[in-house]
Amino acid sequence: MSWLARRGASEIHVTLYSTPRNTGASLPHLSLASNCMKRNAFTLIELLVVIAIIAVLAAIAIPVYGAAMEKARVTQDGSNMRQIGIGIQAYLNDHNDDMFPRSSGTAGSWPEAMHTRYVTDWKAYHSPFDRIPPTRLADVGNSKDAPVSYGINQKLFDVSSSKFSSPSELIMMAPALKSGAVIQFTGMSSTNVEVPVGGNGGTRGGTHQNRSRINALFADAHVANMLYTDFIKTSGDETRRWSPDE
């Protein structure tokens, strides 16, 4: 092979395997990584849009959640009274149809008389609408003087249930609310907790739906979710709602 041929082959070899100098071009994989980092970052506008969407969803969800929770409390409240109502029917069977005496005597108050044999869990006497303050807080499971949220119609003490003229229309029990602008209970198991005829008056004295409705247990042991304006009526056809012999 001639000298010229050997020189050409050497130049071709150097051209193929030598590293370019000062080309100024970036390596392809570095450029790709940089682009990926740029795509993964959120802009301020995108973050604000996400926050706005979360705020809108929260504004929709919170009222729905609140309504669902209130509905659950209404159901539990009615269940408690239905359980007590069944217990009262058993009490009446054992006491010749006589309702609770107003004077506690040796039998104690009506909650104590019921608790000893008929509805033995104090939790059943506690309404979910009753937020027990420290002054009434006790061992709800075993206390001698436990909070009681429900009251007997004050006209039903010392009467015979056999004389109830309209049991399906006669209110036997309801949440024993204290009159006032806020929902408040004061009943304790050591006392004959009662509900005055016509409730506490006013048009907003219920337990739910902005205090426009209230649960009530009737003498035939059914529970109704009533408008408070109907609950408090005491005249006309509604007289029998509170009076056992009407």
pLDDT of 120 strictly over 80 = yes
pLDDT of 19 strictly over 50 = no
pLDDT tens track for 61-96: 777 677 888 999 999 999 999 999 999 999 999 999
Alpha carbons 212 and 204: distance in angstroms, whole number: 5
First and final C-alpha spacing in the chain: 135
Range with lowest mean pLDDT among 100-104, 110-114, 116-120, 155-159: 100-104
| Contact in structure between 175 and 150 (CB atoms under 8 Å) | yes
* pLDDT at residue number 122: 92
For residue 219, which amino acid is it?
Answer: A
Domain boundaries along the sequence of the chain: 73-241
Paired with 213 in beta bridges are 208, 227
pTM for this entry: 0.73
| Contact in structure between 127 and 102 (CB atoms under 8 Å) | no
* pLDDT at residue number 240: 83
